[in-house]
Amino acid sequence: MDGAHRNSDEYHQPLLTEPSSNDEETILRDEDGVEGKDLRTRLWIETKKLWVIVGPSIISRVAGYSMNIITQAFAGHLGDVELAAISIANTVIVGFNFGLLLGMASALETLCGQAFGAKEYHMLGIYMQRSWIVLLLCCFLLLPFYVFATPVLKLLGQPDDVAEMSGVVAIWMIPLHFSFAFQFPLQRFLQSQSKTAVLAYVSFVALGVNVLTSWVFVNVLDWGVIGASLALDISWWVGALGLYSYTVLGGCPSSWTGYSMEAFNGLWEFLKLSAASGVMLCLENWYYRILILMTGYLSNATLAVDALSVCMSINGWELMIPLAFLAATG
């Protein structure tokens, strides 16, 4: 009973304590020697510090998004219906769940940032394990979107041929769906410690794997949209396993202390915080996916979906750069 009481008190203690006067002096100390410098010198010093974080973040985000572009490019060589099916499955079905899971994982940005600032380094690993549990449960709850993609898309007015092929693609993208539950928390975990370089390296390797597997599965083995889907599955899991290997094999000795049963404590509170974060991001993320669905009502729906999905993909590609700056400032 005493142990349980102590654990309960531990979870209600704030992560951040009031800094002492000595701590405040340390924080305010001019560590970079910018005081007394002219504006141009100070701007150059701060810019260099920013690009140390922004540069790898840009590479990571652009490389990750490029895998979707490459998949669409290979599908475009198969035919208009194939491109439309990949676009709807990837942008609407996967994208719907992507936005929700990414938003839920963003709760780690706050929690891990607070724990890191309070020097409670071991809590970063605990929070990440809690996020894995919550996101994995959500992945199972979201599976019907993939299993019943064809009837849902037909109900939403999509052409029959596109809806049926999109349903096939969605089934083969289920492994991709589960990779989100592991990779998103790992990304936030490493990003909160400013370990952005490893994110860039792993994303670049995953991009290379995506190009190679797409060429082999689509052009050499002639597996069509199934091959394109498998290539995307493998690439995302390469990224997830790469980040996981770095974390557990000594890359984060202070923040990763192994698996702990403590991760199962406070799951309900963690779920509520994650859900609130997920809803906020979903409202920003879903609007252009609805535009893809609306093009299915046009007279030449297949061509319209193809054109709009390509344009939205290019727009999303460009968006990765300002998002990297946003992540760096966080």
Q: Is 148 helix (H, G, I), strand (E, B) or coil?
A: coil
Residue 89 per-residue DSSP state:
I
Which helix (H) or strand (E) is 220 found in, with range?
none
The model's pLDDT over 70-91, given as tens digits with 9 standing for 90+, comes to 999 999 999 989 999 998 998 8
**pLDDT tens-digit profile of 278-318?**
777 777 677 777 877 888 777 787 888 888 877 887 887 87
Enumerate residues 6+ apart whose C-beta is below 8 A from 102: 180, 184, 278, 281, 285
* Predicted confidence (pLDDT) at residue 15 exceeds the cutoff of 50: no
Q: Which pLDDT band holds residue 275 (cuts at 50, 70, 90)?
A: confident
Stated pTM of the model: 0.83
286 DSSP assignment: S
For helices 301-329 and 39-76, the axis angle rounded to 10 degrees is 150
17-66 pLDDT, tens digit each: 444 444 434 433 444 555 656 778 888 887 787 788 788 888 888 898 89
Q: H-type helices in 19-38, by residue range?
A: 21-28
Task: Identify which of 200, 204, 192 has the alpha carbon closest to the alpha carbon of residue 256.
Answer: 192
Predicted pLDDT of residue 54:
81
Instruction: Please report which helix (H) or strand (E) contains residue 183, including its range.
Output: helix 174-191
Tell me the per-residue pLDDT of 175-229, one tens digit each, with 9 for 90 and over.
999 999 999 999 999 988 889 899 999 999 999 999 999 999 999 999 999 999 9
Q: Are 175 and 237 in contact (CB under 8 A)?
A: yes
| 101-136 pLDDT, tens digit each | 888 888 888 888 888 888 889 999 999 999 999 999
Q: Burial of 259 by CB count in 10 Å (0-12 exposed, 13-18 middle, 19+ buried)? A: exposed
Q: Per this entry, what is the length of the chain?
A: 330
Q: Is the pLDDT score of 147 beyond 70? A: yes
Least confident of 29-33, 217-221, 237-241, 319-323: 29-33
Of 56, 53, 140, 51, nearest in space to 101 by CA: 140
Rounded-to-integer distance, Cα 306 and Cα 75, Å: 10
